[in-house]
Every structure is written in C-alpha cells, then in structure tokens.
C-alpha cells in the first residue's frame, strides 16, 4: 500500500465546479473563498488558448505557490507569464514549474507540517495511509508516481 495517494474529484465534477467557483469569486459571497483560492489566467503553450483555472492558494516567502498534478501544469515548464487573481486583486506574475522530486517532496512536507495532517489532506488533495504524516522519502515516491509538482508564482 502506498503511504500517500492523490484524491481527485471526477472530471465531470471539476467541469461543473470550476465555473461555479469562478462565478462565486466575482461576487461578495466569494470573500471567504477568495482567501484560499486563486485564479490563474494564462495562454496554453501549444494551443495558444486562454485558460482561467481556480486552484488552492498557498503562501510562501514573497510569493504564492500552487501544489498540483493537473495536466495544465506543464505549460509552466521553463517559466511563463500568468495573471493571478487573489484576494480580489489581479497581479501579473511569473510562474515556474518545479518537478525535481526531492524539492517538490520537501515543499509538500513543509506544507503538511504547517497545515497539520487532517487539513493538509483536504487542502492538498492527498490521502495518508493509516492517518499518519508521511516521510519525505514517502512523499518523493508519491511525487514520482503521481506527477506532483510545485508552481512558484512571483510578481513580474
């Protein structure tokens, strides 16, 4: 049994919820949601299509980060400009994808420690075996198996 697994809602649920989340963020009702969700606006690297993606926000030092395994993440390999709407403000930022397994695992471990195991499982979309906090080595295995990555966002 794997110490860490990714929990994903069905694609149909995501297709229904994303527009609802985007709509809610544009209203006063989106206030509490706006403190934990940010919206990425970017152009696809191959399609040239514009995307608006709501994701869970995580603060770090002087910027923000997104912890994800979503397919759109590869757009940010090598860095890419992105407009980030967070807490009611839109800021031009630079997104850089980090895929090096040890660095990603250590970032997840730090975030798990900050949030605590219960909240980390909900906020990060993970499930920990036996309800215990995974080790960095167990997280490295999950990063490699599940294609977990970190998207660092810094102001341009």
What span, in angstroms and rounded, lies between the C-alpha atoms of 92 and 156? 6
Q: Do the Cβ atoms of 104 and 98 come closer than 8 Å?
A: yes
Enter the pTM of the model: 0.89
Q: What is the pLDDT of residues 1-48, one digit of tens each?
A: 799 999 987 778 888 888 778 777 777 666 666 678 999 999 998 889
Sorted by sequence, the CB contacts under 8 Å of residue 57 that are 6+ apart come out as 35, 36, 37, 38, 64, 66, 86
> Tens digits of per-residue pLDDT, 102-151?
999 999 999 999 999 999 999 999 999 977 899 999 999 999 999 999 99
pLDDT of residue 75: 95
Which structural domain range is residue 87 located in? 4-155
Q: How many domains does the chain have?
A: 1
CATH at 127: 2.30.110.10
Do the beta carbons of residue 67 and residue 124 sit within 8 Å? yes
The Cα–Cα gap between 140 and 54 comes to 26
Instruction: Tell me if 58 sits within 8 A of 104, measured CB to CB.
Output: no
């Amino acid at each position: 049994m794997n110490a860490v697994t990714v929990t994903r809602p069905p694609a149909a649920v995501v297709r229904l919820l994303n527009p609802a989340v985007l709509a809610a963020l544009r209203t006063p009702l989106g206030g509490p949601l706006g403190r934990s969700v940010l919206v990425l606006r970017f152009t696809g690297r191959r399609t040239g299509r514009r995307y608006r993606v709501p994701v869970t926000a995580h603060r770090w030092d002087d910027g923000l980060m997104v912890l994800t395994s979503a397919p759109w993440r590869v757009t940010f390999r090598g860095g890419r400009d992105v407009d980030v709407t967070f807490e009611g403000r839109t800021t031009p930022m630079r997104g850089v994808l980090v895929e090096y397994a040890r660095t990603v695992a250590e970032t997840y471990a730090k975030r798990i420690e900050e949030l605590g195991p219960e909240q980390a499982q909900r906020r990060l979309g993970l499930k920990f075996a036996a309800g215990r906090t995974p080790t960095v080595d167990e997280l490295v295995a999950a990063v490699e198996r599940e294609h977990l990555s970190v998207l660092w966002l810094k102001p341009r």
